[in-house]
Amino acid sequence: MLDGERVAGCCALLTNDLISRQDLWPWLACLYVEPDYRGRALGATLLEHGAREAKRMGYGALYLTTDHDGYYEKYGWSRMEDGYNLFGERSRIYWLELN
C-alpha cells in the first residue's frame, strides 16, 4: 500500500506460514501498517484486499497465524487452533471463509 512513493503498509499471500500446518493454504502474512498511518483502518483494507485476491485465485478459505488476540475477530476471522512456528513458538491459527 503506497502513499505516493512512501510505503504505508503491506501484506502477503503465502503458500505456507506455519510449520505445524503444512496442509492449509493460502496464508495471509506480513500484515503491517507503518506507525504514522495507523488508526486509519488501513489494516482492514489490507485484510480485505488479501481475502479478495485469494478468492479471485479460487480459494474458499484463507488462514493466518498471529500472537494477537481480538484484532482479527473484528474482521470476521475465527480462531481455529494453536500451532507452532518455525522457531517452535506457539501461535494462534485463524481462518476466514471466502464467500
| pLDDT tens digits, 9-58 | 999 999 988 888 999 999 999 999 999 999 999 999 999 999 999 999 99
- CATH number of domain containing 60: 3.40.630.30
| C-alpha distance across the termini of the chain, in Å | 24
pLDDT of residue 20: 86
| pTM for this predicted structure | 0.91
Query: Following DSSP, what letter does each residue of 8-24 receive, concatenated?
Result: -EEEEEES-S-TT-TT-
Between CA 18 and CA 89 the distance in angstroms is 10
The tally of domains found in the chain comes to 1
HSE-CB for 9 with a 13 A CA cutoff: 20
Domain with 53 in it:
2-97
Which phi and psi (to 5°) does residue 33 adopt?
Answer: -125, 130
Q: Can you tell me which residue has the cell 507452532?
A: 84
β-bridge partners, 62: 96
